[in-house]
Amino acid sequence: MEINQKQLEQVNDRIKALVKAESFYGKKLEEAGITEVHSAEDFKKLPFSEKNDLREAYPLGLMTAPESEIVRIHSSSGTTGTPVIIPYTAKDVDDWAIMFKRCYETAGITNMDRIQITPGYGLWTAGIGFQNGAEKLGAMVIPMGPGNTDKQLEMMQNLKSTVLCSTSSYALLLSEEIEKRGIKDKIHLKKGVIGSERWSAKMRERIATELGIELYDIYGLTEIYGPGIGINCKYNTGMHYWDDYLYLEIIDPKTGENVPDGEIGEIVITTLVKEGAPLIRYRTHDLSRIIPGECPCGSKFPRIDVIMGRTDDMMKIKGVNVFPKQIEEVLAEFKEISSEYQIRISHLDGKDTMRIYVESTGDVDFANLSKRIAERVKSRIGFTPIVKVVEIGVLPRSMKKTARVIDERYQ
C-alpha cells in the first residue's frame, strides 16, 4: 500500500518538527541528509528506526515537543537493560483515546457496556490505554489491573461486567477458573478485547467457547501510542488499523525492501501526527501481512493479518526456517489436545532436536497420538519432531506472556 500525498505531507511536517527540536531522530535524519520527501520513492529512502536507537535516546532524547506541552511519559520494558521512554503531549493522549474508542466501536462495544480492565497500570501503556478509550466511549470502566483472580471474579459477577480486556493467557486462566468454580451462569461477559500476545486459533476458540463470548484482537505497542492502533471487526478478517494516524509498511526483514500486499513480512510504522515522540519507519519486528481488498463490514480502514510472530521467533532448526505459528496451526487440527503447548529445541550429539509438549484433554492412546502429531508436523515443516503428550494442566499457565518456545541450544 503506497503512501499517499496527504500522508507524505504529514511525514514532512513531522520531519520538520524532529529536525527543529534537534531530537535524537531529528539529528539522525540530518546526518542521513534527508529532510524532505516528495514521493513514495523518497519515502523509502528514509532510514529505519529501531528499538535500540530509542534506547540510546534514554532518558528524554526522543522528546520532540517543548517540555511545557509534555503531559506524560510511558516506558516500554526492555528485557535487557535500558528502557525506552516515550513522551506524550495532551494531543497525543487524546489521539490515542480516539483510536482506542474506534477499536471498541469496531468490536460493537457501546457506552452501555461495563468494561473490566485487567492489564497493568503504570509506566506501561496497557491498562491506561484501555481505560482512556473506554472513557472516551462513555462506557463504565472497572479498573482492576492484573492478578487477584478471586477479586476479579467477584467484581465480574457483582458488577455484571460485559467486556473483558486482558491478555490471552489471563483470559484462559479466568475461563478455566470460571469453569472450575461452576459460576458460568453468573458471568455476563459478551466480548473480550485481547491484546499484547500472540495466540493460537485453538486457544482463541477455547476461550470463546468456555466464556461464551466474542473475541477481538487489539494491536499496538508502547513506542507507537500503545494498544489501540488496530483491531478486528466482527467478520474477523484481520485487524483494521487507523491510517489517518499511522502509515504501515510490510518489509522483508532481511533486505529491508517492501513486499507486495498480501505477503508476510515485518510491520514498519510511521506516526503521521504524533507530537511528543514522532517515529519514522519504526521496525516493530512483528510479522504480519496487508490483507488486500475490502472487508465485508464496509470499513475503509485497511487491514493487517493477526500477528504471526516476531522476526526473532524465526528459528533455524536442522537448516530449516520454522515459525512457531506453523506448529500451532498443526496442533490446532487435533481435537484431543488442549491449546497449551511448549516447544523445546536442543542440540545434542551434533544434531538439533525439537521436542513438542502437548496436553491430552481426554482418554486417548498417548503413543498413537504423539506419532500422528509428529507425522503432521513433518509434512508441514519438513522434519520429524519428538512429540510428548502430557496430562491436562501440566504445562505452565502464566498471567503474563507465556514462553512457549524454549531454545536450549544457546543457553
Q: If binding is defined by CB under 5 A, does position 291 make contact with Zn ion?
A: no
What are the strands, taking DSSP E only, across 257-334? Answer: 265-271, 282-288, 290-291, 303-304, 315-317, 320-322
Q: Which three cell numbers stand for residue 89?
A: 503531549
Q: Which of residues 296-335 bind Zn ion (CB under 5 A)?
A: 297, 299
Interface residue with Zn ion, options 63, 233, 280, 358 (CB under 5 A): 233
Rounded to a whole number of angstroms, the minimum distance from the CB of residue 299 to Zn ion is 5
Q: In sequence order, what are the residues at sequence separation of 6 or more whose Cβ sits closer than 8 angstroms to the Cβ of residue 290?
A: 1, 248, 250, 261, 262, 302, 303, 304
Report the residue number, 231 or 267, with the smaller CB distance to Zn ion. 231
Nearer of residues 88 and 100 to Zn ion, judged by Cβ = 100
Least Å from the CB of residue 215 to Zn ion: 15
Min separation Cβ 105 and Zn ion, Å: 12
Task: For residue 336, give every residue at least 6 positions away whose Cβ sits within 8 Å of its Cβ, in sequence order, or none.
Answer: 360, 361, 362, 364, 369
Distance CA 131, CA 165 (A): 10
Applying CB under 5 A, the span of 198-206, 255-263, 287-295, 332-340 interacting with Zn ion comes to: 287-295
Cis peptide before 83 (omega within 30 of 0): no
Does residue 115 belong to the site contacting Zn ion (CB under 5 A)? no
Roughly how many angstroms between the first and final C-alpha of the chain, as a whole number?
Answer: 41
Measured over the CA atoms of residue 112, residue 114, residue 120 and residue 122, the dihedral's sign is positive
Residue 295 in the binding site for Zn ion (CB under 5 A) = yes
β-pairing, 70-76 vs 265-271, is: unpaired
Site for Zn ion in 188-207 (CB under 5 A): none
Give least dist CB 303 to Zn ion, A: 7
Q: Which stretch binds Zn ion (CB under 5 A): 112-120, 192-200, 276-284, 292-300?
A: 292-300
Q: How far is the CB of 217 from Zn ion (least distance, A)?
A: 13
Residues that bind Zn ion (CB under 5 A): 233, 295, 297, 299
